[in-house]
Structure 1
Amino acid sequence: MEPSPVLYTQTDLIRYFLRLGTVGFGGPPALVSAMHRDLVIERQWISEEDYREGIALAQLAPGPLAAQLAIYLGYVHHGVVGATLAGLAFVLPSFLMVLGVSWTYVRFNGLPWMQAIFYGIGAAVIGIIAIGTYKLTLKTVSTDALGWILFTVSALATAIVEQELVWLVFLSGGIYWFIKTKGHIRTEAGNSYAPFLLQVLSLPFDSMLWKLAFFFMKAGAFVFGSGLAIVPFLYGGVVKEYGWLSEQEFLDAVAVAMITPGPVVITVAFIGYLVAGFSGACIAALATFLPCYLFTVLPAPYFKRWGKHPSVKAIVDGITIAAVGAIAGAVVVLARRQLVDLPAILIALSTLWLLYRYKKLSELYLIGGAAILGLMLRYIT
């Protein structure tokens, strides 16, 4: 069968991810849903199968989910160069924004208005990610009864324990493979997976930048799940273990990640800036994203080569369903934390209704309106 023609260039790819990195609010659930809507459904640059493989690989490998998916989708038709450009284009806008916020934060000794803006934006984001997750769920699970069971279990587990259970994602892939293929294994694919290991060399230099590099490389290499999953790891390190930030500074760092577009994990740049200035921000961001880049690009050829085999495809489908369930559960967790009063609930519900009612409505307008509402409510109350 002839491969389908590539409908876009590397330049188109860079433009898209620059835009998504600039206006893509809502963290992993919203960004993952946006890539599916834009690249699979509307533009049809990426096939549904390639998208599912990307989601599965992003779930299996440690690191931020949305960034890894962007890297993989860049790899699909344009190889390592496409993966590199897509990853850079996706991360760079939010990195530059966080640098600007970091400078302002340090210059004016904190951002008292940040909490007001975050209040409004955070509530609107819940509506944005809820509608995106709803659409992604319908497309991924469809009418598959087994898929709905696995989705529901994953969503409930994530909502209850408030973290993504990696073992449940693996188990879902195994169950789906066993039931759909009756345990049949394609033996010709058995010897095609080359093991790889990312080794972190010991750092002999006792300087803050090397300490930052080592710590954030661990964060990028050993934390599974979405960008939100890295927050507890960062808290334990930068606040509890090393004392680099105070409790309030860390909360402000998380707020910065949520009020800026792009991957949530970009909060590492804010933390690095507070600890060691511009150099610290660059080191923290590079050390965090480098492992996830390698963990995506290195196994990508094997996913591309064997992802279409029935056994591998069943495992990928099961993992994807569980991943979408975990995203849905994460929406519940975020809603519980963000929607703390009636105005916040009304903002979220209004956002949800507007996006459902008006399909072409730009999320950027809703984010801007919610930010203004947050400031107004702060000063009124």
Structure 2
Amino acid sequence: MGIQLLLLPVFKLAFLFKIIVITQKSKYSLRELTLYFLRLGSIGFGEPVALVGYMHQDLVEYRKWISEEEYKEGLALAQLAPGPLAAQLGIYIGYVHYSFLGATLAGFAFVLPSFLMVLALGIVYQLYGGLFWIQSVFYGVGAGVIGIITLSAYRLTIKSIGKFSLESLKEKWLLWLFFIILLAVTYVTEREQILVFIAAGLIYMLIKARPMAKISKTANISIVFLSGIWDFENGTLLKIFIFFAKAGAFVFGSGLAIVPFLHSVVVVENEWLTEQQFLDSVAVAMITPGPVVITVGFIGYLVDGVAGAIAAAMATFLPCYLFTISLAPFFKRIVHNKSVKAFVEGITAAVLGALVGSVIVIAKRSIIDVPTALIAFFVILSLLYIKKIQEPVIIAIAAVVGVMIKFIF
């Protein structure tokens, strides 16, 4: 018995050493996490669904850095809160084991490569955009982008609301009503309707979840704040920052949801870009890896140089970052909150309606002849029936076709 008591501290040390060894083998360093997201941001092509799929395959299945439960929690939070889905999940994964520093480095590393790429393309575009061959390339690319965003808008609508059918209309009639109203309003006014989006979320929340008065009061304060945030008179750079921050706060799921916000202010209201330049900006986001919403860097550069690009990108991802790190500690309560879910469903239906409306507005100005209509049509067919084809390949083919058409005719 005495010997056992003497050896007890040794057994404890051995047990602790075993735990430390196991932890060191299974745990990843902050440097490794940052390098992973830097790599994913450099070579990760595809829509948000593809990017979050890469994260699951790499970090959950292969490297086992993140548990299945942690991944699902991050994905659920990314779907509930505003922000580009893939970037938000990356920020949450960084937060899981390394808190705010991990979230910051993971998000920054994921966005940086694609930002530098669109910045370089913006410089080339501004220097040589007037040349015939560049115009020929984007003649085909613009039509290809119309095909891509048309199909993406259709798929997002089916995923979020469902197929347009009698059964779906009966079950989700209010969501379809929001969708149709915003589609019509966006098409007619060609402007983003922030207050209508918020109203749709609040109405659906009040009808479906019947939250306490305290929640409604908070929401009303939010409306007043958001309605006044745009009322200022300052230089272009500050205007860029505030506008893109506002736009970034209403991106749910896909980066393409930002299109109606960008189009109405960048093209219609402020006339920072022409219709063709805006379409080219979306195309640039399609041919670069990382989040699609990085098109804001290209737009910011065309409007106000490198400073404009940095301001636009930082402002767009700031709401995503803040929402993630502020909600992550309380996630388990948020994910089951009926009021939050209902608000997100209502606002998502409204945003999707605006997205479809903006696609129609852009298409009627970009599909200018039979060749561009055919390019857009065949892009949609290719994405529907060639399952493994990716957007950058589609864009490259559209560019080649555009050059051939311009040189022949």
Would you call these one fold, judging by a TM-score over 0.5? yes
Q: Aligned runs of 1:89-104 on 2, under 5 Å?
A: 89-90=110-111, 92-103=113-124
What do you get for the CA RMSD once the two structures are aligned?
A: 4.2
* Alpha-carbon contact 1:118-1:371 (below 8 Å) kept: yes
Question: In the alignment, does 2:137 pair up with 1:117?
Answer: yes
Over 3 Å counting, the alpha-carbon distance change for 1:70 and 1:163 in structure 2 is: farther
Once the 2 structures are TM-superposed, how far is the Cα of residue 352 of structure 1 from its aligned partner? 0.6
Give the AA of the match of 2:324: A
**Equivalent of 2:261, from 215, 229, 236?**
229
* Alpha-carbon contact 2:247-2:316 (below 8 Å) kept: no
Question: In the alignment, does 2:157 pair up with 1:137?
Answer: yes
Secondary structure class of the residue paired with 2:204: helix
Q: Aligned runs of 1:191-202 on 2, under 5 Å?
A: none
* Alpha-carbon contact 1:114-1:255 (below 8 Å) kept: no
Over 3 Å counting, the alpha-carbon distance change for 1:188 and 1:321 in structure 2 is: closer
Specify the alignment match of 1:270 in structure 2.
301
* Alpha-carbon contact 2:161-2:349 (below 8 Å) kept: yes
Once the 2 structures are TM-superposed, how far is the Cα of residue 84 of structure 1 from its aligned partner? 5.0
Once the 2 structures are TM-superposed, how far is the Cα of residue 122 of structure 1 from its aligned partner? 1.1
Over 3 Å counting, the alpha-carbon distance change for 1:270 and 1:190 in structure 2 is: closer
Specify the alignment match of 1:370 in structure 2.
398
Once the 2 structures are TM-superposed, how far is the Cα of residue 77 of structure 1 from its aligned partner? 2.8
What is the distance in 1 between the residues matched to 2:153 and 2:130? Answer: 34
Specify the alignment match of 2:373 in structure 1.
345
Once the 2 structures are TM-superposed, how far is the Cα of residue 227 of structure 1 from its aligned partner? 5.0
Answer with 1 or 2: which has the greater Rg.
2
Gaps of 5+ in 1: 1-7, 25-33, 59-65, 200-209, 241-246
What is the distance in 1 between the residues matched to 2:110 and 2:188? Answer: 35
Once the 2 structures are TM-superposed, how far is the Cα of residue 330 of structure 1 from its aligned partner? 2.1
Specify the alignment match of 2:184 in structure 1.
156
Give the AA of the match of 1:52: Q
Q: Aligned runs of 1:44-59 on 2, under 5 Å?
A: 49-54=76-81, 57-58=82-83
Per-residue deviation, residues 56-99 of structure 1 (Å, max 9, x unmatched): x24xxxxxxx4xx4442323332343355335533532543442
Aligned length: 329
Q: Aligned runs of 1:286-297 on 2, under 5 Å?
A: 286-297=310-321
Secondary structure class of the residue paired with 2:157: helix
Once the 2 structures are TM-superposed, how far is the Cα of residue 174 of structure 1 from its aligned partner? 1.5
Once the 2 structures are TM-superposed, how far is the Cα of residue 46 of structure 1 from its aligned partner? 5.4
Once the 2 structures are TM-superposed, how far is the Cα of residue 284 of structure 1 from its aligned partner? 1.7
* Alpha-carbon contact 1:98-1:269 (below 8 Å) kept: no
Higher relative contact order (CA 8 A, sep 6+): 1
Deviates more, 1:89-98 or 1:169-178: 89-98
Question: In the alignment, does 2:60 pair up with 1:36?
Answer: no
Gaps of 5+ in 2: 1-31, 58-70, 163-167, 251-257, 286-291
* Alpha-carbon contact 1:94-1:260 (below 8 Å) kept: no
Give the AA of the match of 2:314: L
The percent of aligned pairs where both chains have the same amino acid is 23
Once the 2 structures are TM-superposed, how far is the Cα of residue 120 of structure 1 from its aligned partner? 0.6
* Alpha-carbon contact 1:18-1:93 (below 8 Å) kept: yes
What is the distance in 1 between the residues matched to 2:118 and 2:316? Answer: 21
Once the 2 structures are TM-superposed, how far is the Cα of residue 265 of structure 1 from its aligned partner? 1.8
- After TM superposition, the score normalised by the length of structure 2 is 0.66
Per-residue deviation, residues 138-177 of structure 1 (Å, max 9, x unmatched): 1111344232222222223222322331122112112211
* Alpha-carbon contact 1:254-1:267 (below 8 Å) kept: no
Specify the alignment match of 1:74 in structure 2.
90
* Alpha-carbon contact 1:98-1:260 (below 8 Å) kept: no
- After TM superposition, the score normalised by the length of structure 1 is 0.70
